[in-house]
Amino acid sequence: MTTQHPPLTRYAALGIPLGFVGLPLYVHLPKYYADTLPLSLALLGTLLFITRLLDCFLDPLIGRMSDAYPHRRKQIMLGSVPVLALGVLFLFYLPSFATAGNAAVLLGLGMSCTYIAYSVLSINYYAAGLPLAADATQTTRVSAWRETAIIIGVLVASILPQVLITKMPQQAAYHLFSLVFVGVLAVGVFAFSPLLKKITAIAGDNTDVSTGAWKKIWANRPLRWVFGVFLLNAIPPSITATLFLFFAASVLQAEAMSGAFLLVYFLAAMCAMPLWAKLSRKIGKKRALMGAMSLAIISFVWAYFLGAGDTLPFFVICIASGAALGGDLALLPSLLADTLQDDKEQGGLAFGVWNFISKFTLALAAGIALPALGMLGYTGTQSTDGGSIHALQLSYAVLPCTFKVLALLTLVLSPIEKK
């Protein structure tokens, strides 16, 4: 790779394990625990909401403190790796030793430690990409490499649990899955760590992390708009991620195909990402992102009309909405990086706020959607009551599209770049 192009393959390598574990933590664990832990759906949703809420409020602080020591970014990131690895093992092995008396406490502690370690690693990983881009075109390239690597990890994680479950009991399958993650994480860190030394040398160590750092972030008007669009745009996938396995099992009655649905969805996103990046260079990132959001709304709303056995139409929805996701992943982080071109030293804090928004919406999804479904009579994949199934259809398909429309309108009204 020439000196004009940063060694993005090494940078992207760490994205694979981050994507690999992100999907199970937020998609598979709710259903896994609903099936294996002695906890009600309402209590489980409340615990997930509380731990995710505490975690997301820590993210801006983690980003700010990371900015204080950019010359220590390598040590900070490497220090979080063993905590993350042990935390993931603990969470997936938890049903083997948890009891009705200690399950809630152990789950809360395990989630908190794992989420924090994941935040430290991912926030610093995103911030480490800023020195690799010198202009708006390169921010899209860095973003595309990183998000493609993350999706590769997501693709593996989306299908592997279902494959393992066909070969062994559910708990044994997730035990093996967590062990595989530890191996993938070790390889990713090994490949990434030589590049990190160069990144920390570029970053320097003169970042202002006083109160002025916060004022400087919020004084950036385009950045505020990007945060606003991202907030509204992050709510739909947070809801669908929380409810997807329930929808596949209870509405489509095709739980065994959930891995294939996820595989097609994220594969479509990965394949579409270069196309959205190319389109953004022709018509601008804002217009391209508007197109991606519009595609998501038009395609995903049809999930509301699906019922038992409608797997083929759902595959079509997965392809179209997955392609739309590719636009979100390629362009939104790129827009954020563009607003930081003159304030790269604030990258940790900015991506800390970014992580906060992402996790806050996930916390809302778990804390509101699951208990609400429980109140409406939905008790899990064994529910057959027509009213509860209809509530699941509304929550999974219509509610996310409503927030997506609000995100699109906010983007249209925003002063984010137009050329």
Q: pLDDT for 214-224, tens place per residue?
A: 666 666 677 78
DSSP state of 24: I
Show the CA angle centred on residue 36, arms to residues 33 and 42, nearest 5°. Answer: 50
Tens of pLDDT, residues 327-338: 998 888 888 877
Contacts of 216 (CB under 8 A, 6+ apart): 208, 343, 346
Structure-derived torsion over alpha carbons of residues 249, 251, 257, 262, reported in degrees to the nearest 10 = -100
For the chain, what are the domain ranges? 8-413
For domain 8-413, give the fold. Growth Hormone; Chain: A; (1.20.1250)
**Which two tokens mark 332?**
């939104």
Q: Give the Cα separation of 192 and 8 in Å (integer).
A: 10
What digits encode the pLDDT tens for the residues 251-286?
A: 898 888 887 898 899 889 989 988 998 898 888 888
Q: What pLDDT, in 10s, does the model give residues 94-138?
A: 988 888 888 888 998 998 899 899 989 988 888 777 777 666 667
The answer for 207, left when phi > 0, alpha when psi is -120 to 50, beta otherwise, is beta
CA-nearest of 340, 398, 333 to 144 is: 333
| Tokens at 336, concatenated | 């954020």
d(CA 21, CA 55): 16
Rounded alpha-carbon distances, angstroms, from residue 25 to 19, 20, 168, 309: 10, 9, 21, 28
The model's pTM: 0.73
Instruction: With a cut of 70, say whether residue 41 has pLDDT above it.
Output: yes
> By the 8 A CB rule, do 327 and 271 touch?
no
